[in-house]
Structure 1
Amino acid sequence: MAVGIVILFHLYEHWPETLSPLTDRVLRATHFGYTGVSLFFVLSGFCLSYSLLRREAAGRSSSFSSYMASRFHRIAPPYYISILLYLLVPSVKWLTSGQASDDLTWRQVTSHLMFLHGFREDTLYGICASYWTLAVEMQFYLVLPILYFCAKKFGVTWVVVAAALSSLAWALNSGDTRSMTHGVFLARWTEFALGIAVAFWFVRAREPLSPTGEGTLLGASGVFLASAAAFASRNEFSSNLQFGLGYALLLSAILSSSRRGRGISTLFERPWIVLAGQISYSLYLTHVFSQGKIRVLLYRLLPNPGVLGELGMILVTLITIWVGGWVFYQLVERHFLRSIDLRSSRKPAPEVH
């Protein structure tokens, strides 16, 4: 869901400005797809914390080094291969015609390989514009053990409050520098902390909420999301916080519904949605590449497409993005997932006393 929303946003952001008024209005409806980043951070906080809580309940505690190694092996190898994919065309142009590219510099490549590209203006959106979230995500991995410990010792509510206050202080003092407002985890870790809170609530809840309770969560989620969308241009910190709250409440309602086996959670059990979730990381890594290449090809074939032609181009682009993500998953990501599963299966089972 999160990556689908982001794909729609990038579809609008990177499409040429030669659209007809009707097509432009259709694409403008996808503008708020940038909120998928908030959902992504909430889901990250939830999934990582839920995994730790489950492992702890099973008596399988992890050291910090093994935890970081597992996250690195899950994220980095497909990411590195996707970097090669994005650098392929600039490299060919440089080798054949000497055409330079801002992405083909040691600073760009090394900062991205080390997940440090979020700290500089010239590397924040380099190579692929969506990679900045991975830089922030890696910072989240480093602070998660601290947040997890504090949530258990002092309560998850205090963790969310502390994260929100520190994010506010950061927003008030970071100015308009994009690397400070987008590339440093302090600007966005409230959403991450909200995901942690949902994980603790879900594990500790004895019974699912009633349908009325779930409806209340859905209503509150809608209020926060609508409010954030309405005032997004006025205050970035406030809108990010409200989007985070809205998606955290939506996630809570879906999780409660899943325990009852009916309700809103059944919408996410459809095969194509399950498949989208399975290949979501591959879609995230490749969608900008697929979109850019197919769009150039389509406009070469149809330089003056008209309204129906433009709508057809959008549909073909979305299909290409989906196919590209699926192919990358089959050829790249799935093999690394298998190697991770193989290493896990070789580890001795923990002793239970």
Structure 2
Amino acid sequence: MNKPIEKSSRLRLHYLDGLRGLAALYVVLVHIEPKLGATLPLFWSLFGKTLKYGGFAVAIFIALSGYVLMLPVSRSQSGYISSTLVDYIKRRSRRILPPYYAALLFSLLLAFAVFLLENVSEFRWNEIAGEGPFSPKFTFIDVLSHLLLVHNLSPVTHMTINPPMWSVATEWQIYFIFPLILLPVWRRFGLLASVITAFVISLLPIYLFNGLFESASPWYLGVFALGMAAAEIGFSTKPKLVEMRNSLPWGALSIMFNLVAFITEWRKLGLHIWIGHSFFGIASACLFIYCTKFITDGKKAPLILKIFEHPLAVDLGTISYSLYLTHGPILSLVRYGLFNLQLPAGAFATASYLFGTIASLIFAYLFYLLFEKPFMSNFLQKRKLQDTNFQHPTNTKKL
């Protein structure tokens, strides 16, 4: 018989960071443009076909957010987020906004540099050479919508400046729906009702108002709720959920729903994209329960959990948000540099993946140190403790 989970124990789920890091690296590879007119060699052509599922990586990010934010709620006695709603928003703002605005500023400065070069020299931004997730051509409305984190709501603005940022706006909006709608529904009507509510809210505008807000991929709210469900199933003390946690084959279910996700994503079937993403969200939720159960039960980790918990994967997860925010402009700059070398198709593809990935990782790490780490909770707590110790009367001296 498994020991009950101690709610007061400190649980370390390093695999979540590893999974987040690998997903971010996949997004970088997806956004590399290895083509340059000529047909790619067979290997690179086949490799490119494995990089057509960037939406699945975003689904992992969103499901992870739902899982992580729901964890303390599921493990608490109250069923509420810790502290007040205002404090919750402050914590989310501190974690998300400083790196986001820093990356936005970097993108705008880079665009301004392109503008200056075009006006003081013969340089002209080549759309083919700079093809990728960055655009130096945008309007004031583009900038304003990015500043307000609403650019994802319009097909006109959601892919401008730094295209991957659209999902940050979607996640930011979900942060408000979570405590204001999903948690109250969960407390009053249960877990299933919360998941259904999330999908109804997200899909109604698409089907009732002719695709309204479809550019924001609102179905990720449902994926977020699936992450919430995984946390509740993984840590609830309710008899039915405990039985579900201990009886269902979560690993096999994750594999099955992964297969369904890839099948429903097949374009020839003509299904809406939200269906494949939702099945992948279910697969991710099952994976979270599967991996966490091995940790809480103290069992030997399976291979997939060892991969996610590998130090390199965990380190990658540490900088994953910075990597996601900044890789677009970096990839475009690398492509621009390689474009002028007039390399053969195979060499250009090889160099694009190699140097694009390395440059993105290096820049993301530096960006993380400057604009993300100082705003993380643990860092702030340690700094506050150091400041308190320094200011303690026994440690101060009159000058």
TM-score bucket of the superposed structures, by smaller chain: 0.7 to 0.9
Q: SS of the counterpart of 1:61?
A: coil
1:349 corresponds to: none
Matched, 1:70 2:91: yes
Unaligned runs of 5+ in 1: 347-353
> Are the aligned partners of 1:5 and 1:34 in contact in 2 as well (CA < 8 Å)?
no
In the aligned structure 2, how far is the partner of 1:59 from the partner of 1:90?
A: 44
The CA RMSD over aligned residues, in Å, is 3.2
Determine which of 259, 262, 273 is the counterpart of 2:300.
262
Q: Higher mean Cα deviation, 59-68 or 250-259?
A: 59-68
Matched, 1:250 2:287: yes
Task: String of CA shifts for 1:169-213, please: whole Å, max 9, x gaps.
Answer: 333234356xx213264x321101101111112221599999996
Determine which of 142, 159, 175 is the counterpart of 1:125.
159
> Are the aligned partners of 1:283 and 1:322 in contact in 2 as well (CA < 8 Å)?
yes
Q: Higher mean Cα deviation, 15-24 or 125-134?
A: 15-24
Determine which of 26, 30, 39 is the counterpart of 2:51.
30
1:155 corresponds to: 190
Relative to structure 1, the CA distance from residue 268 to residue 172 in structure 2 (aligned partners, 3 Å threshold; closer, same or farther) is same
Matches within 5 A, 1:198-209: 198-204=230-236
> Are the aligned partners of 2:66 and 2:225 in contact in 1 as well (CA < 8 Å)?
yes
Q: SS of the counterpart of 2:340?
A: helix
Higher relative contact order (CA 8 A, sep 6+): 2
> Are the aligned partners of 2:234 and 2:245 in contact in 1 as well (CA < 8 Å)?
no
Determine which of 260, 268, 271 is the counterpart of 1:227.
260
Determine which of 308, 315, 318 is the counterpart of 1:275.
315
In the aligned structure 2, how far is the partner of 1:274 from the partner of 1:209?
A: 31
Determine which of 101, 113, 116 is the counterpart of 1:92.
113
Q: SS of the counterpart of 1:124?
A: coil
Relative to structure 1, the CA distance from residue 96 to residue 288 in structure 2 (aligned partners, 3 Å threshold; closer, same or farther) is closer
Relative to structure 1, the CA distance from residue 15 to residue 49 in structure 2 (aligned partners, 3 Å threshold; closer, same or farther) is farther
Matched, 1:307 2:346: yes
In the aligned structure 1, how far is the partner of 2:354 from the partner of 2:140?
A: 37
What amino acid does structure 1 have at the position aligned with 2:57? G
**TM-score with structure 1 length normalisation?**
0.85
In the aligned structure 2, how far is the partner of 1:238 from the partner of 1:170?
A: 16
Query: How far has the Cα of 1:267 moved from its partner?
Result: 2.4
Relative to structure 1, the CA distance from residue 184 to residue 64 in structure 2 (aligned partners, 3 Å threshold; closer, same or farther) is farther
In the aligned structure 2, how far is the partner of 1:306 from the partner of 1:321?
A: 22
Task: String of CA shifts for 1:134-177, please: whole Å, max 9, x gaps.
Answer: 11111101111121222122211111122233434333234356
> Are the aligned partners of 2:38 and 2:345 in contact in 1 as well (CA < 8 Å)?
no
> Are the aligned partners of 1:117 and 1:132 in contact in 2 as well (CA < 8 Å)?
yes
Q: SS of the counterpart of 1:262?
A: coil
Relative to structure 1, the CA distance from residue 316 to residue 208 in structure 2 (aligned partners, 3 Å threshold; closer, same or farther) is farther
> Are the aligned partners of 2:233 and 2:242 in contact in 1 as well (CA < 8 Å)?
no
Task: String of CA shifts for 1:231-257, please: whole Å, max 9, x gaps.
Answer: 213222221221111111111111112
In the aligned structure 2, how far is the partner of 1:193 from the partner of 1:256?
A: 20
**TM-score with structure 2 length normalisation?**
0.76
In the aligned structure 2, how far is the partner of 1:173 from the partner of 1:343?
A: 50
In the aligned structure 2, how far is the partner of 1:191 from the partner of 1:344?
A: 36
Matched, 1:111 2:164: no
Query: How far has the Cα of 1:103 moved from its partner?
Result: 4.6
The structure richer in helix per residue is 1
What amino acid does structure 2 have at the position aligned with 1:189? L
Larger radius of gyration: 2
Relative to structure 1, the CA distance from residue 340 to residue 36 in structure 2 (aligned partners, 3 Å threshold; closer, same or farther) is same
| Number of aligned residue pairs | 341
Relative to structure 1, the CA distance from residue 71 to residue 212 in structure 2 (aligned partners, 3 Å threshold; closer, same or farther) is closer
What amino acid does structure 1 have at the position aligned with 2:147? L
> Are the aligned partners of 2:70 and 2:228 in contact in 1 as well (CA < 8 Å)?
yes
In the aligned structure 1, how far is the partner of 2:155 from the partner of 2:321?
A: 25
Task: String of CA shifts for 1:26-74, please: whole Å, max 9, x gaps.
Answer: 1221112331111111111111111344566799831111111111111
1:324 corresponds to: 363
In the aligned structure 2, how far is the partner of 1:345 from the partner of 1:56?
A: 28
What amino acid does structure 1 have at the position aligned with 2:68? C
> Are the aligned partners of 2:63 and 2:225 in contact in 1 as well (CA < 8 Å)?
yes
Relative to structure 1, the CA distance from residue 114 to residue 309 in structure 2 (aligned partners, 3 Å threshold; closer, same or farther) is closer
* Identity fraction in percent: 26
What amino acid does structure 2 have at the position aligned with 1:131? M
